Amino acid sequence: MLSGEQFGRLFDTFERTAFRLETLAEYDVAEEREEIARFLAGQDMGPEWTDNPWVRSMTDKGKQVSRVHVLTSPLTDYLRYELAAYPGNVTAGETIGIIDLAEQPVAGLPEHDFWIFDDHQVYRMHYTATGAFVGAELLPPDHLGAYLGHRQVALTHGVPFADYWERHR
């Protein structure tokens, strides 16, 4: 299992595509706590919110970054915070889709997060019950086909973020 730092290196080394399926209503990320408090207090979120530098560091190199977030409305405070940051990710070049299970039930998706890099490596993400990152598990190659299928289901049913946000902002 890769730790946060080890897993983070994959974003420097993938060559073409990175796809994420997100499934949690809350992520417990120590580095975000202060920012979440500012968001909930209605304070200015800074320039990273208009053009995410982490996403830009990949897309400026011609890499494609995409995700589909599976959630259920009404949104938690954390999801309101996370989705409010997504426009800066989109500006930086990330493609984001939303599947709101309260609006459209979708079968065929796992109930855990994963990343697929360059269509040949799948990492299952592991979190505590409160959403703290535990590690990323590289799945065996024989799991790739199933996860490529999960990605296709997510991309097929995902509503473009801008459309979803227009209705739920």
Beta strands in the chain (DSSP E): 17-22, 64-71, 95-100, 114-117, 121-127, 133-138, 159-160
| Cβ count within 10 A of residue 92 | 20
Q: Express each pLDDT in 97-111 by its tens digit.
A: 999 999 999 998 999
Asked if residues 83 and 73 have their Cβ atoms less than 8 Å apart, the reply is: no
**Considering only the top CATH level, what class is 4-168?**
alpha beta
Task: Enter the pTM of the model.
Answer: 0.95
State residue 169's pLDDT score.
Answer: 80
| Parallel/antiparallel/unpaired status of strands 121-127 and 114-117 | antiparallel
Q: Which two tokens stand for residue 104?
A: 């459209």
| Parallel/antiparallel/unpaired status of strands 114-117 and 17-22 | antiparallel
Average pLDDT over the chain reads: 96
* Confidence label for 47 from pLDDT (cuts 50, 70 and 90): confident
Q: Express each pLDDT in 141-152 by its tens digit.
A: 999 999 999 999
Domain limits, the chain? 4-168
Tell which phi-psi region holds residue 35, choosing left (phi > 0), alpha (psi between -120 and 50) or beta: alpha
Judge whether residue 49 has pLDDT over 90.
Answer: no
Cα–chain center distance at 131: 13
